[in-house]
Each structure stands twice: as C-alpha cells, then as structure tokens.
Amino acid sequence: MHAFITLGLGIAIAFIPVPASAMRFADVLKDHSPPGGNLVQNPATEVLGPPDGIVAQFQEVDLTTPGFVTVEFTGSAIEDAPGNDFFIHLIDWTVSENEIFLVFASLGGEVFESIGSSGIPTGSAEAPITIGFDLASANLSSASFIKIVNGRIATSCCESPDIDAISAIPEPSTLILLAFGLSVLAVRIPRT
C-alpha cells in the first residue's frame, strides 16, 4: 500500500504545475558584454529577479564576438528534474527581429555545456514570452550559472533578445513539500 502511495505522490509531483511564487530567479550578474541596444538602454542588472517588463539587451563585443550575459543562481543550484529546469523570460521576441540565442549552463562557472538554442522567434511585438530549457539536454544534473549568447552579430540593430528574467523551478525538496501539502489538503477537505 505504501508503495502505491509513494508512486502516486511521485507521479503527482512530476505533473504539478509549479506556482510562480515558488520559482527562483537569477540573482547575481557574473559577466556580460556591453548592455544596450537600438532602443533599449537599460542596465544589465535588469535580467535579475522576477519578470517586471523592463528588459536588458547585450550587444556584440567586436565583429567576431556576439553579445552575451552570464547569471548565477546563489543559494542552491538548479537541479535536473523531469521537463524544463529553467526559463528565459523575453519581451518583443518576434520573427522580424530574428533575435536568436544560444544557451549554456555550468555548475562551477568555468566550463559551460551547450543546452541548446532558442530556435526561431515566435513572440508578438511587445508581448512577453517564456522559453524553457532542460539541463538533461547537456547531461547535466545541476547548474548554478546560465549563459545566454546572441546567435548572430548585427552591428546596426536587433542582435540581442530583450531579456526580462531568468528563472528556475524549485529544487526537488520544495516540490516534494508542495505535493505533500497538497495531498494533506486533499485528505482534509470534507467531501459533500
């Protein structure tokens, strides 16, 4: 009987949507290329904390080095779990601007593994969009550093995505506590 309860709880944890209030956000700016863009001149620190609609862009270093930003999640590392483990929150990510980017992750901040690319932009003008990434795609079990690199160099305009925030799902222990709390509530709610 206990095995079925444990299995059921495990399945429930995998499919429980994570509440926005439980998300963790990048909180340290480790490195970046010059901030700013065609119209966006916000400081690089705008990528930290929860999404607020104020974005940062990162421009090319030179004609061979694309713009980039590296952030850190302090406290505890992002842990690989089923599905996406971290998310990049963007605004105004449209096909016409073609602001593609590459994503890398690292546990110690020295050696970065490729997680993948953003793909072709699919957002709407001035609208927020969130793209998820999975540490398992680089065979990483955890990471504390996320690096976003512009997918192209454009010296005139629109090279860099408009990054609002970078978030991570809570560590598995938080999800277990959340599922346990929900299961206790389900048992305690009187049925009519």
The number of folded domains in the chain is 1
Cα–Cα distance, 56 to 162 (Å, whole number): 6
Residue 66, in any domain of the structure: yes
What integer pLDDT is reported at residue 175 of this predicted model? 47
Q: What is the pLDDT of residues 127-155, one digit of tens each?
A: 999 999 999 999 999 999 999 999 888 66
pLDDT band at 36 (very low <50, low <70, confident <90, very high): confident
Residue 16, in any domain of the structure: no
Q: What is the pLDDT of residues 112-127, one digit of tens each?
A: 999 999 988 888 888 9
pLDDT at 183 over 70: no
- Strand order, beta sheet including 86-91: 24-25, 162-168, 86-91, 128-133
**pTM of the predicted model, to two decimals?**
0.79
Cα–Cα distance, 86 to 80 (Å, whole number): 9
Cα–Cα distance, 107 to 76 (Å, whole number): 10
Residue 180, in any domain of the structure: no
Domain hosting residue 60, numbered range: 24-169
User: Which CATH number belongs to the domain containing residue 52 in this structure?
Assistant: 2.60.120.260
What integer pLDDT is reported at residue 37 of this predicted model? 62
pLDDT band at 63 (very low <50, low <70, confident <90, very high): confident
